[in-house]
Amino acid sequence: MRIILMGPPGVGKGTQAVTLESHLNVPHVSTGDIFRALLRTEDPIGIEVRKYLDHGLLVPDELTNQVVTTRFREQDVHKGFIFDGYPRNVFQAESFDKFLKEHNWTIDAVVNIAAPDEDIIKRLSGRRVCPTCGKTYHLESNKPKVDTLCDVDQTPLIQREDDKPETIKKRLAIYHDQTKPLIEYYSKQGLVITIDGTGTIEKTHDLTIKALGEIK
Ligand SMILES: [Zn+2]
């Protein structure tokens, strides 16, 4: 199966990708991993990418598309994949479609794990971390034993900048801006499956498997 996984930050997309990978027996491919692997080599595409990263610049879409296709030199993705973090916009999606078409491959589904912004803000803003040992907590689902002190070393817990409601709202706004046209693009191809991501990890996984089973 060839799947593209989408979902806002904080919806648990990474966790779902891992469970889906073992369930469907196809590799979970994240663009972050492809970039890191490529940068370890002397591949000309990697050298080109490094020029941008060294200057703190965003890698252009054209180059990102090339980077992604390098992953297809490895056989494991020929039987299927779960793509995560790509395509990020319509231009990348069109280019990826073209690449797939050249190889007579098609996407089976675009799995869109969705949850209302308020849910995500509530989930993420409850996270706390111990600045001493790095242990993480959640004020609702994984509370420290005493007040807001670390169980291990009693250090007062802190909230990471990334977990503050204002930061989460900004990230969500960017996500929606980028994703809306992409969802429309894949909806026109009849590929989008929206999964309710508000429940537990297991529940979301079950819903995903059930929905994928129906398209087979
Ligand atoms: Zn601690």
Q: One of 2, 88, 135, 164 is an active-site residue; which one?
A: 88
Q: Which residues, by Cβ under 5 Å, contact ligand 1, an ion?
A: 130, 132-133, 135, 150, 152-153
Look up the domain containing 56 and give its range.
2-115+179-215
Q: Is residue 150 domain-resident?
A: no
Q: CB neighbours (10 Å) of residue 61?
A: 16
Give residue-wise pLDDT tens across range 103-161: 999 999 999 999 999 999 999 999 999 999 999 999 988 999 999 999 999 999 999 99
Q: Is residue 26 domain-resident?
A: yes
Q: Is residue 85 very low, low, confident or very high in pLDDT (cuts 50, 70, 90)?
A: confident
Give residue 115's pLDDT: 96
Q: Is residue 84 domain-resident?
A: yes
Q: Is residue 125 domain-resident?
A: no
Q: Is residue 22 domain-resident?
A: yes
- Ligand 1 center to 149 CA (angstroms): 8
Q: Is residue 140 domain-resident?
A: no
Which CATH number does the domain housing residue 50 bear?
3.40.50.300
Q: In this model, does residue 29 exceed pLDDT 90?
A: yes
Give residue 31's pLDDT: 87
Give residue-wise pLDDT tens across range 49-75: 999 989 989 899 999 999 999 999 899
Q: Is residue 52 domain-resident?
A: yes
Q: Is residue 216 very low, low, confident or very high in pLDDT (cuts 50, 70, 90)?
A: low
Q: Is residue 12 domain-resident?
A: yes
Give residue-wise pLDDT tens across range 165-209: 999 999 999 999 989 999 999 999 999 999 999 999 999 999 999
Give residue 106's pLDDT: 95
Instruction: Tell me how many domains the chain contains.
Output: 1
- Contacts of 28-31 spanning 24+ positions with Cβ under 8 A: 28/81, 28/82, 28/84, 29/71, 29/77, 29/81, 29/82, 29/83, 29/84, 30/84, 30/85, 30/86, 31/64, 31/67, 31/68, 31/84, 31/85, 31/86
Task: Decide if 40 is catalytic.
Answer: no
Kindly give, in sequence order, each residue whose CB lies less than 8 Å from that of residue 146, ignoring residues fewer than 6 positions away: 154
